[in-house]
Amino acid sequence: MKRTLIFATLIGLTIVVGASFQSDISAQQQKSLAASVGVYAFPNAGQSSSQQSKDEGECYKWAVQNTGSDPFQLQQQAQAASQQAQAAATQGAPPTAGSGARGAARGAAGGALIGGIAGDAGKGAAIGAAAGAVGGRMRSRSANQQAAQQQAAGTQQATQAQMDNFKKAFSACLEAKKYMVKY
């Protein structure tokens, strides 16, 4: 009887310890708020995981208020800007107004000059105008695509600067709460 009772108690303890161990593992597998924004915090003063979560939440709010930047909104804005830039680059921006006409005028002048040398200035001007119009539109479209790419790069740099500023503020708050912080 005693052996059965001892055996049942050992099995019960094994189940309880195993369940507790599994819940600890699943809690560790979840990403903390700090880790999700690329900041890693280690509790220097023996803070519990629930205290660390509370402190990270408070520091997150403080950093958002003091920097004006919310990393999760920044990520969404950056993705939207990237998608817009990709759409503009793949579709090709329309040429600017008058780019074909300016190209045609340049082409006609050059064609008339060459046609004059060859003996038919009118025909040379017509050919030059057609080629100039096409060339003008192509140059304009290429310039528009480059401008869209530069704008996207500028937006990405500004987003990164805001994110870095947020991380500094978030880290300062966590350090004040006795965490070792790296990002």
Per-residue pLDDT in tens (0 to 9) along the chain, 183 residues = 566 656 555 565 556 555 554 444 444 457 899 999 999 999 999 999 999 999 999 999 999 999 999 998 987 887 777 777 667 656 654 555 555 555 555 554 554 445 445 555 556 555 555 556 556 566 666 666 777 777 777 778 888 899 999 999 999 999 999 999 998
Assigned domain for 12 exists? no
In the chain, count of helices (H) and strands (E)? 6, 2
Report if residue 7 sits inside a domain: no
- Asked if residue 1 belongs to a domain, the reply is no
Q: Is residue 135 part of a domain?
A: yes
Beta bridge partners of 182: 40
Domain membership flag for residue 106: yes
At a CB cut-off of 8 Å and minimum separation 6, what does 45 contact?
178
Provide the β-strand partners of residue 43. Answer: 179
Whether 11 is covered by a domain: the verdict is no
Asked if residue 103 belongs to a domain, the reply is yes
Which positions ≥6 away from 78 have C-beta within 8 Å? 155, 156, 159
* Closest to 92 in 3D by CA, of 134, 135, 147, 152: 147
Residue 2 lies in a domain: no
pTM of the predicted structure, to 2 decimals: 0.55
Q: Which structural domain range is residue 49 located in? A: 31-182
The number of distinct structural domains making up the chain is: 1
CA distance 161 to 68: 12
